[in-house]
Amino acid sequence: MSVEVALESVTKRFGDVTVLDGLELRIPRGEFVAVVGQSGCGKSTLLRAIAGLEPISAGRIELDGERVDGPSNRVRVMFQDDRLLPWQTVGRNIELVTKDPAATAQVLDSVGLGAKADAWPSTLSGGQRQRVALARALASDPELILFDEPLGALDAFTRVEMQKLIENLWEERGFTAVLVTHDVAEAVALADRVIVLADGRVSVDRRIDLPRPRRRDQAFYSHEEDIFNRIIDRQGLTS
pLDDT in tens, 87-128: 999 999 999 999 999 999 999 999 999 999 999 999 999 999
With a CB cutoff of 8 Å and minimum separation 6, the contacts of 45 are 12, 19, 20, 54
Q: Could you tell me the end-to-end alpha-carbon distance of the chain, in angstroms, rounded to an integer?
A: 47
Judged against a pLDDT cut of 70, whether residue 129 lies above it is answered with: yes
**What is the rounded average pLDDT for all residues in the chain?**
93
pLDDT of residue 24: 96
pLDDT of residue 234: 62
pLDDT of residue 233: 79
pTM: 0.94
Q: Where are the beta strands (DSSP E) in the chain?
A: 5-14, 17-27, 32-36, 58-63, 66-67, 75-79, 144-148, 176-180, 193-198, 201-207
